[in-house]
Amino acid sequence: MSKNPEIKAVGTAFQSGSRAGENFVWLTSMGLAIGLTLVTSLLALILWEGLTVFWPQRVAVFQLVDGSTAGIAGKTTLAGEVVDYRTKVNHVIGKAFEQEYQLFVGNKDTYGFNFKFVDANAIKSKEYLNDYIVAERLENGRLIGVPVAIAMKDGSTIPANSPEFAHKLEEMVTGYNAQRAKILRIEKYRIGDINYEMEGLRLQEKGVRRRAAGDKAKEEAGLAPIREREAQLKKEYEVLAAEAKALRDGLVGNNLVLRLAGGEEYRQPIGAMLEFYYPNQLGFFGKVSMFFHRMWNFVSQDPREANTEGGIFPAIFGTFVMTLLMSVAVTPFGVIAAVYLREYAKQGVVVQLVRISVNNLAGVPSIVYGVFGLGFFVYFVGGNIDHWFFYESLPTPTVGTGGIMWAALTLSLLTLPVVIVATEEALAAVSRGTREAALACGASKWQTIQRVVLPSAAPGILTGLILAMARGAGEVAPLMLVGVVKLAPSLPLDTTFPFIHPERKFMHLGFHIYDLGFQSPDAEAAKPMVFATTLLLITLVVVLNLGAIMIRNHLRKKYAAGTF
Amino acid sequence: MSTNTRSTDEAKPLTSHPRAHNKGTSSTTTSEEGLIQWNELMPQDNPIPYIRVKDFSFFYGPKQAIFDVNMDMGKNRITALIGPSGCGKSTLLRNINRMNDLVENVRHKGDITIDDDSIYDPSIEIISLRKRIGMVFQKSNPFATSIYENVIFALRVAGRNNRKELDEVVERSLRGAALWDEVKDRLHSSAMGLSGGQMQRLCIARAIANRPDVLLMDEPCAALDPIATVKIEELMLELKKEFTIVIVTHNMQQAGRCSDYTAFMYLGKLMEFGTTQQIFTNPKVKKTEEYVAGKMG
């Protein structure tokens, strides 16, 4: 306590007024708060929208007021999942308080659309009837209706109210799913292998013709074994094709008869059904298990129907493999460059210029890298490799076209500045004392770098790699030029020799989002998929980063020099 | 120069340099420049001059850091370099294993020989020179690997990977650094888990692992507590049986306690060089007297 009251007063005023000059705390904290709010709301939106896609909705049945034209085809009953209930603005009468429902009515083949908007004041009643069924199909999206009976191939029927109905339907759907899987195995792998070999033979034939150069006898002699093998393969193919056809024929004939909301009868071939459930009979745990089941299907299945249905497994896999390949390419390259810049190059104007250029490379628009990748990797490198090693198959390019390898290399160029800058920083942070200790022990400069400096800098290098991976995994524009496609028939890694196919085109989550959201014929139907895909892309980046962070922490513990 | 030639070397008495010889007549002569070269205050001590600094000057760019230093450091003796900060004692020490070559824009005049081999002889590789000279730094700087790997670092970089030999070296070096008993059960755990004193002794073990002839110590106890300091000092007295030790220290008591000879440097010049007893009890130069009495520095 000061004896002088004036001093005390001044002190208090000073304290409460500008807080000893710390008023910029508000500015900085505000910046952080705004940033955090934006990021969390974005993540929360994606999380919510991306997860609710998988939650099974109940099917509501609406009775419309008599004479309403709001229904489908003049009918006054309609059923669907309520997607949204919102206030619509009627610009004509200028009133903003009318409510409307957005319904997912399904049955696209019958109705011609998936979604229907219905004014709330046209609705007389809304109820949830237990007998409604939702079925996933191979084509035309989901089916919503009331099952009537199963019409068997032999003419007999099993009515929906008989006790064995649900069990029988389940059994048939499961059986057909297994059958389709079998057809897929035959067509994709066994016939695929034959096609692969046939293609090889065709190239051999071309080569023989070219080498024979018009010499008929020589040509015949060279072609004989090829013809023989070709005939053999053809025979094998016919056997397999007949097998597949028999299985395929077994899929048709049995139909599920339903009554749609408006009273129309609909016959759904059971062979084209993937699964079905009674949405209004599901309890909480039933819904939870359905939720996880659908989520699993989404991440593990191939896409169907122009990517708007089914899963996105190829895109996840493509993104993952591409990011890993990119990391494998960018790390050694970036680290070596940084080691030279920091450790060997004479620090001066030239090195400084190089450093500035490298930093500025990070600001080049990514599409420019895409164009460069297309011109250099695909056309120049790939084209030349084709010319030297795959001459027989020209003009069809083998590696002279977009592929996962070229995409990974293009992205590694894009992320190179990040790795170089981070590595340089990490190298600079290794203390002089540590280097001197190694040199004093008789180590050469390279031994010092290799045995002491690089291990100590490893955590910092990995930080750069984490940033590079996050940047690379989310990049879309350059990939569109160097190998991403809307639908890739086969993965870059599979069981066909030589197992790794760096020349193959691939699917990518980022491109998938673009494709679903902006290139899809039914934007409204694709919207949930866009959110779910975005969520997955973020999850994938987080998983990759967590992996790298775990490696980094392990290294930090190992090389705990306290420099980081 | 091989061990063989060194051992056959005739033990000639440690005398001053020819140049100093011309100037001075007897032991504790003060030259015209106020430079005391050598003395024989300890006539019973008769070391072989092992490291000889001859007319040595050193420049960082345009700035001269060392001016015409001449001194001999005796074999199996501890020579302490003392002086105020910036007097060039660390520079001199770091020149003995050419550590200063790492700095850009440096040059030197004169020569330093170790056992009559010039360290600047172009036929001697700098790496093989450093293999003959161990160095301990002010801040202990163990590598972030295991204790074991730290000790054998010099052998590893020399490409010696014989497991049995390495095990022997680790035990011998750690015993030599008086650390064996404390760490023998955790040789493969991280060196970063050691205490400051243990780390510094580990650095000593690392410096002596490759059996160098010379041990350079640049303020080895500056960052240590008194107990660890005493341990290191005792260790030095033990190590001098095997090595020629040169130590830079700011600690007068330390120089007094453990060194045999002391050189006082001031502003890049060697002001006085003599037995430690003489420098501390009977300094000939006024600056030395002021410094050891704590009036300057």
Task: List pLDDT tens digits, range B123-148.
Answer: 888 888 888 888 988 888 888 888 88
Question: If DSSP codes are grouped into helix, strand and coil, which group holds residue A431?
Answer: coil
Distance from CA of A449 to the nearest CA of B (A): 12
Q: Provide the edge-to-edge strand list for the sheet that holds B117-118.
A: B63-74, B49-60, B106-114, B117-118
Q: What is the rounded end-to-end Cα distance, in angstroms, of chain A?
A: 44
B75 touches B50 (CB < 8 A) = yes
pLDDT digits (tens, 9 = 90+) for B70-85: 888 888 889 999 988 8
Residue B36: the pLDDT is 38
Angle, helices A284-300 vs A313-339, to 10°: value is: 60
Q: How would you classify the pairing of strands A157-159 and A143-151?
A: antiparallel
pLDDT at position B1 over 50: no
Q: What is the mean pLDDT of residues A424-434?
A: 88
Percent of chain B with pLDDT over 90: 2
Q: How would you classify the pairing of strands B117-118 and A309-310?
A: unpaired
pLDDT at position B272 over 70: yes
Whether residue B158 and residue A442 make contact (CB cut-off 8 A), yes or no, is yes
Between CA A538 and CA B227 the distance in angstroms is: 55
pLDDT at position A305 over 50: yes
pLDDT digits (tens, 9 = 90+) for A497-509: 777 777 788 888 8
pLDDT: which is higher, A285 or A362: A285
Beta bridge partner(s), residue A157? A151
Whether residue B145 and residue A559 make contact (CB cut-off 8 A), yes or no, is yes
Q: Which of A415-419, B45-49, B179-183, B238-242 has the lowest mean pLDDT?
A: B45-49
Give per-residue burial for A515-551: e unless 16+ CB within 10 Å, then b. Answer: bbbeebebeebbbbbbbbbbbbbbebbeebbeebeee
Percent of chain B with pLDDT over 70: 84
- Its pTM stands at 0.77
Dihedral pair phi/psi, residue A431, rounded to 5°: -70, 150
pLDDT digits (tens, 9 = 90+) for A2-12: 455 555 544 45
SS3 of chain B: the string is CCHHHHHHCCCCCCCCCHHHHHHCCCCCCECCCCCECCCCCCCCCCCCEEEEEEEEEEEECCEEEEEEEEEEEECCCEEEEECCCCCCHHHHHHHHCCHHHHCCCEEEEEEEEECCEECCCCCCCHHHHHHHEEEECCCCCCCCCEHHHHHCHHHHHCCCCCHHHHHHHHHHHHHHCCCHHHHHHHCCCEHHHCCHHHHHHHHHHHHHCCCCCEEEEECCCCCCCHHHHHHHHHHHHHHCCCCEEEEECCCHHHHHHHCCEEEEEECCEEEEEEEHHHHHHCCCCHHHHHHHCCCCC
Select the residue of B102, B133, B137 nearest A437 (Cβ to Cβ). B137
pLDDT at position A409 over 90: yes
Q: Tell me the pLDDT band of A95, cut-offs 50, 70 and 90.
A: low
Please spell the DSSP secondary structure of A471-500, one letter per residue.
HHHT--HHHHHHTB-S--SS-SB-SSTTSB
> Tokens at residue A61, please?
């049945």
Number of H helices, E strands in chain A: 18, 13
> Tokens at residue A444, please?
């050469």
pLDDT digits (tens, 9 = 90+) for A26-41: 888 999 999 999 999 9
Which residues of B are less than 8 Å from A433 in CB distance? Answer: 137, 139, 141
Residue A76: the pLDDT is 82
Which of A346, A436, A441 to mutate against chain B (most B CBs within 10 Å)? A441
pLDDT at position A203 over 70: yes
Q: If you ran DSSP here, which 8-state letter would residue A382 be given?
A: I
Whether residue B157 and residue A559 make contact (CB cut-off 8 A), yes or no, is no
Between CA A124 and CA A431 the distance in angstroms is: 78
Q: Tell me the pLDDT band of A561, cut-offs 50, 70 and 90.
A: very low
Q: What is the mean pLDDT of residues B259-279?
A: 87
State the average pLDDT for chain A: 84
Which residues of B are less than 8 Å from A460 in CB distance? Answer: none
Q: What is the ipTM of this complex?
A: 0.79
Q: Which of A240-244, A492-496, B67-71, B198-202 has the lowest mean pLDDT?
A: A492-496
pLDDT digits (tens, 9 = 90+) for A120-152: 888 888 888 888 989 888 888 888 999 888 888
Q: What is the rounded end-to-end Cα distance, in angstroms, of chain B?
A: 40
Nearest chain A alpha carbon to B94: A440
Residue A41: the pLDDT is 96
**Which segment, A255-264, A337-346, A388-397, B249-258, is predicted with the most confidence on average?**
A337-346
Q: Provide the edge-to-edge strand list for the sheet that holds A123-127.
A: A115-119, A95-104, A77-90, A59-64, A123-127
pLDDT digits (tens, 9 = 90+) for B14-70: 444 443 333 333 334 444 443 334 444 444 566 778 888 888 999 988 898 988 888
A133 touches A278 (CB < 8 A) = yes
**Amino acid in the structure at residue A420:** I
- Long-range contacts made by residues B249-255, C-beta under 8 angstroms, separation at least 24? B249/B80, B249/B81, B249/B82, B249/B219, B249/B221, B250/B82, B250/B85, B250/B219, B250/B222, B251/B221, B251/B222, B252/B82, B252/B280, B252/B292, B252/B294, B254/B80, B254/B221, B254/B229, B255/B80, B255/B82, B255/B280
Nearest chain A alpha carbon to B193: A560
Q: If you ran DSSP here, which 8-state letter would residue A268 be given?
A: E
Percent of chain A with pLDDT over 70: 93
How many C-beta neighbours within 10 Å does residue A1 have? Answer: 3
Q: Tell me the pLDDT band of B297, cut-offs 50, 70 and 90.
A: low
Q: What is the mean pLDDT of residues B163-187?
A: 86
pLDDT at position A563 over 50: no
Residue A371: the pLDDT is 94
> Tokens at residue B197, please?
């004193």
Question: If DSSP codes are grouped into helix, strand and coil, which group holds residue A94?
Answer: coil
Whether residue B99 and residue A436 make contact (CB cut-off 8 A), yes or no, is yes
Which of B127, B141, B149, B204 to mutate against chain A (most A CBs within 10 Å)? B141
Q: How many residues does chain A have?
A: 564
Whether residue B190 and residue A560 make contact (CB cut-off 8 A), yes or no, is yes
Q: Quick one: fold of A313-563?
A: MetI-like fold (1.10.3720)
Comparing C-alpha atoms, which of A170, A95, A192 is closest to residue A497?
A192
Q: Which of A1-15, A56-70, A319-333 has the lowest mean pLDDT?
A: A1-15
Angle, helices B196-208 vs A432-440, to 10°: value is: 30
Q: What is the mean pLDDT of residues A392-415?
A: 84
Select the residue of B130, B134, B144 nearest A456 (Cβ to Cβ). B144
How many C-beta neighbours within 10 Å does residue B247 have? Answer: 28
Between CA A388 and CA A325 the distance in angstroms is: 24
Q: Which of A81-85, A393-397, A509-513, B144-148 has the lowest mean pLDDT?
A: A393-397
A150 touches A169 (CB < 8 A) = yes
Residue B97: the pLDDT is 87
Residue B16: the pLDDT is 42
Q: Tell me the pLDDT band of B12, cut-offs 50, 70 and 90.
A: very low
Residue B51: the pLDDT is 87
Cβ within 8 Å of residue A289, ≥6 positions away: none
**Which segment, A187-201, A382-396, A464-478, is predicted with the most confidence on average?**
A464-478
Q: What is the mean pLDDT of residues A270-289?
A: 88
A555, HSE (Cβ side, Cα atoms, 13 Å): 18
Comparing C-alpha atoms, which of B244, B224, B241, B232 is closest to residue B205?
B232
